[in-house]
Chains A and B, each alone.
Chain A
């Protein structure tokens, strides 16, 4: 990718990041969707995951980098999933 094209891509990603962030603020503050609070929270968190993925893939270049770096980046997410699983299962299971 040429330097000019990559700069254009970075600016486009900036637009997505700013737009998704503002969308999250509007959804949670202005009650424009007739949805329960828990659903709005879930939507805003999904928007955050999308923004984090855009930063990791394009700004941190994981999309073009070696697979080993992708695995290193994903490994903590596996641990997080395990931790979340333990927390919620311990909340549900009464010993």
Chain B
């Protein structure tokens, strides 16, 4: 059986195995970030002197980065819509834009980290910064993974035979990218707005 046939073969659940596997993986990822965010909430509620000005983050920078991730979620879903109408040029454009926006998010995050380090603010500074670097660090690693996934799928589009065989992976890359966006939707207010 060819790979293309295997990918489109009916399954017992009626859902392609790859998609089902991605959703199960995302469910486990929800629990991973729930553990981290739950620890943050418990620490914050039980800490009598939660950092005020010492735990200050730039709201404008956080807002811009959030907008960037929202735009990237839209661009990858537009890539999927383009794939459904077989507009391969548009698929490439939207996927490339998604990877660029994800990279911009990481660069901005890198500047934020560098500014903190230059002020000798480290994960060991206090409990807030421990939580901040752990939460945003793991999220940034997920963004990096998503960018690599998007670029791999973008690479598929340049070979018609490979694209015909693996185009379903664009949907999986999109699911993963939207999950990364959802995590940030919660991290942004918790870290930037509730201080």
Contact = CB atoms under 8 A, between A and B. Distances in A.
Interface residues of A, number: 40
A68 B174 CA distance: 19
Contacts, number: 104
Interface in A1-44: 3, 6-7, 10-11, 13-14, 17-18, 21-22, 24-25, 28-29, 41, 44
A65 B16 CA distance: 12
The 8 closest A-B pairs by CB, nearest first: A76-B30, A28-B193, A14-B74, A3-B85, A59-B77, A52-B182, A17-B70, A72-B23
Contact of A21 (B13, B14, B34, B67): B67
Contacts of B178: 55-56, 59-60
B186 interface: yes
B8 interface: no
A13 B189 contact: no
Contacts of A75: 27
B73 interface: yes
A79 interface: yes
20 contacts: A6-B84, A10-B77, A10-B78, A18-B70, A21-B67, A21-B70, A21-B185, A21-B188, A22-B63, A44-B189, A52-B186, A55-B178, A55-B185, A58-B77, A68-B14, A68-B15, A77-B30, A80-B31, A80-B34, A83-B38
